[in-house]
Amino acid sequence: MKNKEKEIKSLGTKFEVLEEGPKPVAAAQAAAPRPGGAPQPLRKAVATGSIGLMIALAGMAMPYGAAEYAFLPALAAAVILWQLLSSGMARTQATTLPLKPFGAILALATGGVALGLGAGGVTGAVLCILGGVLSLAAPGMGKKADSKLPPAPADLPVDQQFSKSLLAYLLIIFGLSLAWTNDPSATGLNTILGGLTFMFCLLGLWASWVGMWKMWAMPAFTTGSLGLVLFLAPLEAVFTGILGLSRVFMGSSMEQLGVLGAWPGDDAPGIMYAFGPLMVLAGGAFATFELVQGAKQGMKSNQVKKDAEIASRKAARAGRRGEEPEKTGAKDAKSSEKTDDKKDA
């Protein structure tokens, strides 16, 4: 009754109804997926296999009795670390990928050679064998428990190019840390070029880790000031490896280059000490190959984008040209109508 007594004001003929919808920020936050994706249950085979590889790594870090075969624990440690990192074991999101057996096989070979020669370092050799056996037996040990879990995703979102570059830089770093002559203190890091190569490869190692998982710091490493480092590191490794191999086979005559410095030891260190520079050379060549392949793929993707942009611009111009005759025809029709009206008047 009270409403009838009040005057109803007219809104007029022009008015707008505003409906308050969800705020863009709140809607975006609600629609955004959870960081890291859906959590995956822990696979017993993966967990047990990784524990076995870590036990083997502990054995490789201990003194190795067969000094002339020291490249074996270095090579095995580089491969095992790459295997653990590339499978996602160092990430917060649980991995479901089964571990490949080649790391465990290298661990068994490392421990078996040391025990077979009987040159000491028994504790480390036993740990290498124990870890390798545990890693190989992990799929069978966890088969029953893992069969109750839901199916695992096919793969992790890892960049394969950066993953391979990570393995290459690990080979270079472990190769530089080996003895390059019969003097245990004469490693590939004793020289200026070797030290610079080690520094650049550490930066390349970190850049590969950032790039393989598409982390937030990826633009700083790939397109920023460190882009040149990623190009120079493998080339320096190739150069250092070639000079190291030449030093092994040619003796002290290679010291006249004045780049690597004077290594202690005999003039002919022996073929067994060529594996350190050989790992550096192989890692540098592998990283260079991946760098060239990545550059080619980048050029192809950029060309595809340019072609798509050119095609879209051509289509837009063609569309505008098709509309112009229609507009001019409409104008002519209107002008003819006006002239007819004038004639009738």
Task: Collect the ranges in the chain with pLDDT lower than 50.
Answer: 25-37, 257-259, 262, 324-328, 345
Residue 210: closest CA among 175, 173, 161: 161
| pLDDT above 90 as % of the chain | 30
pTM, 2 dp: 0.75
Q: What is the pLDDT of residue 131?
A: 96
User: Which amino acid type is present at position 313?
Assistant: R
When the pLDDT of each residue in the chain is averaged and rounded to a whole number, the result is 78
* Surface-to-core class of residue 203, CB atoms within 10 Å of its CB (0-12 exposed, 13-18 middle, 19+ buried): middle
Distances (CA, A) of 25 to 34, 37, 126, 216: 16, 21, 58, 21
Q: Is 282 helix (H, G, I), strand (E, B) or coil?
A: helix
Print the SS3 string covering 254-305: HHHHCCCCCCCCCCCCCHHHHHHHHHHHHHHHHHHHHHHHHHHHHHHHHHHH
- DSSP 3-state helix, strand, coil percentages of the chain (rounded to 5)? 70, 0, 30
Q: What residues have CB less than 8 Å from 194, skipping those under 6 apart? A: 176, 187, 188, 240, 260
Query: Any idea how long the chain is?
Result: 345
According to the model, what pLDDT value does residue 187 have?
Answer: 85
pLDDT at 173: 96
- What are the tokens at 125? 């050799």
Sequence-ordered list of residues with C-beta below 8 angstroms from that of 47, at least 6 positions apart, any chain = 142
338 CB-near residues (< 8 Å, 6+ apart): none
Closest to 89 in 3D by CA, of 128, 57, 111, 60 = 57
How do residues 41-85 score in pLDDT, each as one tens digit? 778 888 899 999 999 999 999 988 777 888 999 999 999 999 998
